[in-house]
Amino acid sequence: MPELPEVETVKNALAPYIEGETIKSFHFYTPRLRQELDAALFNKTFSGKKITRLKRRSKYLLFEFDDQKWILSHLGMTGSWRICKLTEERKKHEHISIRLDNDQELRYCDPRRFGEFRVITAPLDSTTDPQALSHLGPEPFDESYSQEYLWDLSRSKTKPIKNFIMDPRTVCGIGNIYASETLFRCGISPLRKTQKLRKKDCLNLINHSQSVLQSAIDAGGTTIIDFQAPDGSEGWFHQQLNVYGREGEDCVQCDKIIKRIVQAGRSSFYCPGCQK
């Protein structure tokens, strides 16, 4: 499943091709992804409009226009975008084409169709519009994701720390792989109760989650999941994983064996020697 580093990679790869370009038309080849796709609404709202910026918020790609309207794209389990010539033949599972007025097309492929593609006509932080993104916590590289913030938020929480840092209301984009890797680097067991965090643990969590995510972004995402960047290259972050996917193998730091447990329906990998 594409996580924050993969989505950041997609954004960085696509942005130079589409920012400043004008949309000619939208073409849908399936009636729905996660939600219904309303071709008339997309064409009425955005045809002839210039894409001013491509942004990422959490795991969403946001096409920004200059009038407070947005297109939100979520890659679901298997979604990917690519840019190609208008004349290129459509591939299997390509469900959306956005025709640009420079004779290029932006195409969305999604074999399992769990992705999202929808129109937002309210400010992104609107608390009254259910389509907006106001439920999301801070971005992991924002100043608001601070030691004080985590410390205050963690005081009343009894759930395990792994579930706490994966909750998008705490911070966006720390997916399953990155949560296990971050906790290993911090020496914190995924089972520890959130309110048992010490103040210095909060700072460590911030620093290590940022460095884990940044390494993955620099590497172009992981290849644990079925992911390809829009330029066709694969990420290689999996070579740097210390615990994720390594159940039964030796710890890279001590003589213990890496364990796997299931928390909130997701696998957690950790070293019982290094993480308390």
**Which residue numbers are catalytic?**
2-3, 59, 266
Q: Could you count the other beta carbons within 10 Å of the beta carbon of residue 222?
A: 25
Q: How far is CA 244 from its chain centroid?
A: 18
Q: How far is the CB of 143 from Zn ion (least distance, A)?
A: 33
Q: How far is the CB of 237 from Zn ion (least distance, A)?
A: 21
Nearer to Zn ion, 205 or 251 (CB): 251
Q: How far is the CB of 270 from Zn ion (least distance, A)?
A: 9
Nearer to Zn ion, 10 or 271 (CB): 271
Separation of alpha carbons 167 and 174, rounded Å: 8
| Residue ranges in contact with Zn ion by CB under 5 A | 251, 253-254, 256, 271, 273-274
Encoded amino acid at 26, one letter: F
State the residue for tokens 């947005």.
Answer: 70
Q: Annotated binding residue at 112?
A: yes
**Terminal C-alpha separation, the chain:** 29
Q: Annotated binding residue at 238?
A: no
User: In sequence order, which residues have a C-beta less than 8 Å from that of residue 66 and are 6 or more positions away?
Assistant: 50, 52
Q: How far is the CB of 154 from Zn ion (least distance, A)?
A: 24
Q: How far is the CB of 274 from Zn ion (least distance, A)?
A: 3
Residue nearest to Zn ion as judged by C-beta position: 251
Nearer to Zn ion, 51 or 258 (CB): 258
Nearer to Zn ion, 66 or 249 (CB): 249
Nearer to Zn ion, 172 or 251 (CB): 251
Annotated binding site: 93, 112, 157
Annotated binding site for DNA: 93, 112, 157
